[in-house]
Chains A and B, each alone.
Chain A
Amino acid sequence: MWPRVSSFLRRLFADFPSALGTTIMLVFLLLAVFGPLLAPYPYDLPIYEHPRQAPDATHWFGTDHLARDVFSRVLVGARSVLLLAGGGTLVAVALGTLVGLVSGYAGGWLDELLMRFFDSLLALPALLLALLLLGTLRATYGEDVSAVGKGLGVFLVLAVVYTPIVARVVRSVVLAVKTRSYVEAARLQGESLGWILFREILPAALPALAVEAALRFSYAIFLTSSLGYLGVGVQPPNPDWGLMVNEGRRNVSQVPWAMWFPAAAISVVVVGANLMAEGLKRALREE
């Protein structure tokens, strides 16, 4: 096992863009897990002695219009990005894999039905669906929808919108693999459905799945930060990066850094996820 993993890692780090993307994602993961511990200041409390401070040695990213430390907010915000975008992606990947496997393997009318249904769901742009859902939630429950509630909404949207996409990717691999001789041999040997789906077919889908997951994750960050920016996602004082850009922009003449640093954070992570997806695609193809 180990030689394969290490040779895979070597390929992943072989070219610069992919190495950069992978490193960015690893750093981001670490920050998302340990960010709140590393943050030098509380993310939601003003530091009265340094209001609207430009970036300097004590406040690397400066302080915002409410005198909060932007660096700490960006660090803490990483976790919310990971939980929302990463969690939503994970749910979609798990669900999509399952549906794609079953639908592709079963074939017939079930497959036909599911895929047509998924196709039509794809006609709904993710952001619009998210806005509709969050807008309805707000209209129904007013401003007292908890952050958890909003988070769940975003979660649900990601699952609804990305599950079909992941399912299609997995299904296309299943269709290509299920007629291969080794799968047919397994059927002739009386292997169980579970064994055939998960041991014979799924491994072949893993490369495509990994690439798709990385891509989906980058789009999910895109979506959640856009919702934050539009002010319909999570609410203040949550240090959501998109929301921070929104608040920063309102005060851009006084605290431009409060807008640029979270904006840069979003961009770096999205580009990182994209680069890593490209790198994964190459590294897994060479296997």
Chain B
Amino acid sequence: MTPLNDPLLDIRDLTVSYRTGGRALDALRGVSLRVARGQTYGLVGESGSGKSTLALAVMQYLPAEGAVTGGAITFDGRDLLAHSRADLRHLWGRELALVPQDPFTALNPALRIGEQLAEGLRLYEGLNEEEGNARAVDLLRTVRLPDPERAAGSYPHQLSGGQQQRVLIALALSGRPKLLVLDEPTTALDVTTEAAVLDLVAGLTRAAGASALYVTHNLGVVAGRTERVAVLYASELVEDAPTADLFRQPLHPYTRGLLDSLPRPGQRKDRQRLSGIEGRIPPLDALPPGCVFEPRCPLAVDRCRSERPALDEPVPGRHVRCHRWPEILAGDVSAARAPQAALPLPLATGESVLRLDDVTVQYPLRRTAVEALRGESKKAVHAVGGVSLSVNKGRTLGIVGESGSGKTSLARAIVGLVDRTGGDIDLLGLRLPPRLSDRGRAVLAQLQMVFQNPEEALNPYLTVGESLSRPLVTLLNLGRGEARQRAPDLLEAVRLPRTYAARRPAQLSGGEKQRVAIARAFAAHPDLLVADEPVSSLDVSVQANILNLLNDLQREHDSTTVFISHDIAVVAYLSDEVAVMYLGGLMETGPAAALFRPPHHPYTEALLSAIPVPDPAAIQSAIRLEGEVPSAVNVPSGCPFHTRCPRKIGAVCETETPPWQTGTDGKRIFCHIPLSELAAEQAGGGEKWEE
């Protein structure tokens, strides 16, 4: 039998409804897909697309208020929907397994890791206590946990997030399932950890001959790791295709839009403007009557407004739900926006706006009574350890680093939300006092911040207009009445309707909230804007618009930006200068244009190779970092990166502080390895970036 005649998982016309407040809303509408035996299948969707519902429906573990109201799920020839709870218990673990999203809450905090694995093994294989424990340790070794014996005896809180996710993978594989459902398995992890975990899963499922259903919001994650991809939007499947085909020639305008929203490595704001998708995903209770994507679609015609498209098969093995696929396939129309003009570049002058000199931020740890009695000295978390940087007027400085790198602490020290413990910060040539309360309103007006999470960016108890009028009152000394009248102008500046002034934050989408937050930050015309991960909580299709907006406003206000992100591709796209941070210190600084060209600091190299590139054809070097980020309480001596550095050259890395080496293109690298050597080794690494 061919794989397609005998798929492992066959979902036909599946509809899942949730009952809330007396109404039933469809979280999935008529979704069909087939996963062949041994196949890795990617399922991509933004928040609200229904992708997690699909994962839970496959597991037959929908919450009580959710139910399958139509269609069929056939697993390995059996009708899953006809299974009772008791039948399902025999499938779960043994044939169907889930790797959940959030590793920090998915393990029982009160049971040892070994037992959490062994209890399943005893059940599946009839092992006794001892055999079960031994197999548990084997499994932990398979997922490459360092010191598996110790890990088996540990409780979850003693492991890092990446390690816990490895345990969950071991758990899912322990019953040798035929199908592995991975629900955003790496969203909670750092980029470098994510890459390592994804590699591991790919290798293990292949070795076990199991099928895998990857559910994710990240196109880059599925690009190089799956054979087929399906795209969900507003509870419908809009397109599915072999991975290479989908990325090469997406047939649905939404897929096209998603791909264009992501800055590809090497793409820069001075060459090409990002094109996000306008508008927002429709709420489930107000789906458009025709095509669900019609309100946001650049190719929508009258027919799209009235008639819901069917899931057609334009090419054997490809499906798309769009009225206009024949024209798209023939190349007559393109959902790609007309080549966008490059972003207008701010005028850069040589004038320094922000200068950091040896800035340190420490959070003192309280000694416990016992430690104090033992006479131990006071400890501190060294969040930022001596950072010196400078940004010129009109430029954007990007700071990139993973969690624990100190990038957010540095940002907060600049704006004054944390008191720096050492060093100087000058703004426009004037020394900034460390404490916020010592900074006058004139200084506050020069320096504003955009925060990460749009959900808590606005006071939910004030209207948008009230929120926007406040900085006008406090920083520009306007009267309250006048400030209120000016609020709609600020909305207009961030491309929002003036009527939004009367709304409350709860009535806005995440992207709209972030726009309001940006409007508020620009209200008093700051000279410097610090943006701390402003797009990382937003859906991909919204990110691009916010990035464009930030850049436009910077130009209009002639201001300077410090842009902080964990996403090196985004930083490279938006910044003029880039600084890479690790464990509180700078590893590398330099022009963004040179970021992708060797020589790299070994840590930068690892970050680059961990980028989930939305292009299956991209060739990336497979530098993977081992181990965990050391505690910032005891920062390693010498080079702080030596404990994980794949290019460590010897004892000198452990004992001596590396020199700052300056390269020809303005790059400065904090490393013992001579630049020429680094460049030579990394040139062969195989990075092939779009230039």
Contacts and interface: CB of A to CB of B under 8 A. Distances in A.
Interface of A: 180-182, 184-191, 199-200, 203-204
B417 A184 contact: yes
B457 A182 contact: yes
B461 A180 contact: no
Interface of B: 415-417, 436, 441, 444-445, 447-449, 451-453, 456-462, 467, 470-471, 474-475, 517, 520-521, 524
Given A182-B457, A185-B520, A191 B470 contact: yes
Contacts of A185: 449, 451, 457, 517, 520-521
Contacts of A204: 460-461
A203 B466 CA distance: 15
A188 B470 contact: no
Contacts of B517: 181, 185
A187 B459 CA distance: 13
Given A188-B449, A191-B474, A182 B436 contact: no
Contacts of B417: 184, 187-188
B476 to A, nearest CB: 10
Nearest to A286: B21
Given A181-B517, A184-B417, A190 B475 contact: yes
A61 B457 CA distance: 58
- What 4 pairs across the A-B complex have the smallest Cβ distances? A181-B451, A203-B461, A180-B456, A182-B459
B453 A181 contact: yes
B456 A189 contact: no
B33 to A, nearest CB: 35
Contacts of B521: 185
Nearest to A187: B436
Contacts, number: 57
Given A181-B452, A181-B453, A188 B436 contact: yes
23 contacts: A180-B456, A181-B451, A181-B453, A181-B456, A181-B517, A182-B456, A182-B457, A182-B458, A184-B449, A184-B451, A185-B520, A185-B521, A188-B417, A188-B444, A189-B475, A189-B524, A190-B441, A190-B445, A190-B475, A191-B470, A203-B459, A204-B460, A204-B461
Nearest to A181: B451
Give the most central of A181, A186, A199, A203: most B CB within 10 Å.
A181
A2 to B, nearest CB: 14
Nearest to A206: B461
A203 B447 CA distance: 27
Nearest to A191: B474
A191 B471 CA distance: 8
A68 to B, nearest CB: 50
B457 A188 contact: no
A131 B517 CA distance: 55
Nearest to B437: A187
A180 B513 CA distance: 14
A268 B447 CA distance: 58
Contact of B415 (A186, A188, A199): A188
B444 to A, nearest CB: 5
Contacts of B436: 187-188
Contacts of B470: 186, 189, 191
B46 to A, nearest CB: 22
B487 to A, nearest CB: 14
B444 A190 contact: yes
Contact of A188 (B448, B461, B462, B467): B448
B361 to A, nearest CB: 16
A103 to B, nearest CB: 18
Contacts of A181: 451-453, 456-457, 517
A186 B444 CA distance: 11
Contacts of A182: 456-459, 467
A99 B314 CA distance: 68
Contacts of A180: 456
A118 to B, nearest CB: 20
Contacts of B471: 189
Nearest to A182: B459
Nearest to B523: A189
Nearest to A180: B456
B559 to A, nearest CB: 15
